[in-house]
Structure 1
Amino acid sequence: MKHLAIAAGILTATSAVAADKPELTVYTYDSFVSDWGPGPKVKEAFEAECDCTLNLVGVEDGAALLSRVRLEGENTEADIVLGLDTNLISAAKETGLFGPHSITADYALPVEWTDTVFVPYDWGYFAFVHNADAPAPTSFRELADGDAKIIIQDPRSSTPGLGLLLWVKASYGDDAPSIWADLADNIVTVTKGWSEAYGLFLEGEADMVLSYTTSPAYHLIAEEDASKAAAPFDEGHYMQVEVAAKLANTDQPELADQFLNFMVSDAFQTIIPTTNWMYPAVTPSSGLPEGFETLITPQKALLFDQDKAAAAREQALAEWLGTLSQ
């Protein structure tokens, strides 16, 4: 029985040590915490640096994060929210739930970054991904006039879905409703998030799926499969910058700041290209992985600034809902 008592004592001591470690809770999107996403490597790397426990909580897709935190309010368990983007920053600030940061970094973004609340960690361009051996449209007009079947994401729960709305709005302005009317018969389904949509595309449920210009890099690098491509559109491509911020009422402010600093470090940024399959916000010392040079480069980058995005989002969503419900 003595060995059982000793074992019990060791377990108790180990539990006590674990309990003494501070815990940082990060709300993010499901694909970030998946086995193939950045989450596992980020957790391992940060815990080795902080001597803490990093608790990554998946909350569907990006746009659902803001709804979750807004609903929980000051009672949220989150210390950091990671996975909003520039289209949601204005709405996020209006909640008053997020606190300022003092992070500085040598960003490799296509836009200047001066925001004092949200810290960028990656970026990319939205695109429709298709099988490389199949013809693809070169514009929304051509897509709408053709027979290609597409899968998109719901803009109320998904940042790519919202990005698509703003992509169409930025490209066509007041004519956006007519584009949606013509696209309606191309849409196979509207999913809540990116993971479900991309999975259905890979299962052959549609000819194209709303994703990113960087998505083919996953197949090329991880699977040695060059069968996927992103279709370049004449209108240009809408850009996404993904961001994170700490909650103003976090009980781990120093640890939250440490994580935000870690997020723009080489240790974090080297993980992003081949797990989140996006461009890193800060170029890693090792550069981009081989294969990224094969990706299309949009001839025109589209992006509403934070304030204009908020106004455009409401109008574009109303137009989208009104048109597709007819």
Structure 2
Amino acid sequence: MKYLTFAAATLGATAATTFLVPSATAQTPELTVYTYDSFVSDWGPGPQIEKAFEAVCECDLNLVGLGDGAALLARLKLEGERSDADVVMGLDTSLIAAAKETGLFAETPVSADYDLPIEWTDTVFAPYDWGYFAFVHNKDLDAPANFKALGESDLKIVIQDPRSSTPGLGLLMWVKAAYGDEAPAIWEAMADNVVTVTKGWSEAYGLFLEGEADMVLSYTTSPAYHLIAEEDDSKAAAAFDEGHYMQIEVAGALAGSDTPELAAEFLNFMVSDAAQAILPTTNWMYPAVIPEGGLPAGFETLTTPEKALLTPADEVPAIRAEALDEWLNALSQ
């Protein structure tokens, strides 16, 4: 709390007395949230989320973009208990177990009527949006119907690094969930299709839009951006008959936060109608809680996977290590 110093003179006194009194307004509290770069971009949800939350919290929301989703956890591990973050937003179900192992997150009560494909019982992390990974392409492309067909084709693809990107990690888990022990052979067949591996989603999608690849690893919801924001219906997400891997993005409060009540308020805000209504047409994902107005027009045209794939969070670490080795071996040949 700030204090002001006043000099007061007492009538008839020969000396002035200096004393401290509380200021009329307390110092504005600040909440620091680590998230991914695309969230805080001008076209992402960050600016609208910041404005809406500050209108109700009487605080200063500091959104800090740090690469892609998986890079957030690496940064947090590096900083440890010295981290300036109060909340981390942008991890997903593939990183929950590893995040909990750090011991840096606190259980935080969040009340929401989730509309997710699975039941949500985690008390540390709160989901705020979700989607399915997919390869996005121009509609005039004869897209493959599965990973085997992709590996047999001459199509060029751009993917993200699983060590820094949640979509990149999601792709590893997708192939592993669909093919199990056959995953190494799938990666060996697809290695020639990979034009480049980027650190994050934004760079990869940009290369696709620039014509550097036929397809890019993204989401079934990505074509909604082009349709709604650009009135361009030329993009589509390839439907794979093995099924599509699901991503549920989450936020969690750090145990070392100086403002735990404010951190909890932010997590609950992110599942409120005010925030959930923002996400579909800024983060281009499905909201974790359907807002009052429902989904925006255009979302009904999106590819809907016939089969959803998702590995339980506590099983991911062991599978991730094996899948990463398979991926590195295939792409290094």
Q: TM-score range by the shorter chain?
A: over 0.9
| Structure with the larger strand share | 2
Letter in 2 for 1:90: A
- Structure number with greater Rg is 2
Partner of 1:313: 320
Rounded Cα–Cα distance in structure 1 between residues aligned with 2:325 and 2:139: 34
How do 1:26-37 residues align onto structure 2 when only pairs under 5 Å count?
A: 26-37=33-44
Partner of 1:289: 296
The one-character-per-residue Cα deviations of 1:221-267 (angstroms, maximum 9, x if unpaired) are 00000010000001000000000000001000010011011011000
Rounded Cα–Cα distance in structure 1 between residues aligned with 2:24 and 2:39: 28
Letter in 2 for 1:167: W
Q: Secondary structure at the match of 2:281?
A: coil
Q: 2:74 aligns with which of 47, 67, 75?
A: 67
Q: Secondary structure at the match of 2:280?
A: coil
The one-character-per-residue Cα deviations of 1:23-77 (angstroms, maximum 9, x if unpaired) are 0000000000000000000000000000100000000000000000010000000
Letter in 2 for 1:156: R
Partner of 1:168: 175
Alpha-carbon shift at residue 19 of structure 1 (Å)? 8.1
Could you state the TM-score of these two structures normalised by the residue count of structure 2? 0.92
Partner of 1:56: 63
| Structure with the larger helix share | 1
Partner of 2:275: 268
How do 1:1-326 residues align onto structure 2 when only pairs under 5 Å count?
A: 20-326=27-333
Q: Closer, same or farther in 2 for the Cα pair 1:93/1:36, shift >3 Å? A: same
| Unaligned runs of at least 5 residues, structure 1 | 1-15
Rounded Cα–Cα distance in structure 2 between residues aligned with 1:104 and 1:312: 31
Letter in 2 for 1:98: F
Rounded Cα–Cα distance in structure 2 between residues aligned with 1:45 and 1:19: 21
Runs of 4+ aligned structure 1 residues displaced above 4 Å come to 16-19
Rounded Cα–Cα distance in structure 1 between residues aligned with 2:259 and 2:36: 21
Could you state the TM-score of these two structures normalised by the residue count of structure 1? 0.94
Rounded Cα–Cα distance in structure 2 between residues aligned with 1:199 and 1:90: 31
| Unaligned runs of at least 5 residues, structure 2 | 1-22
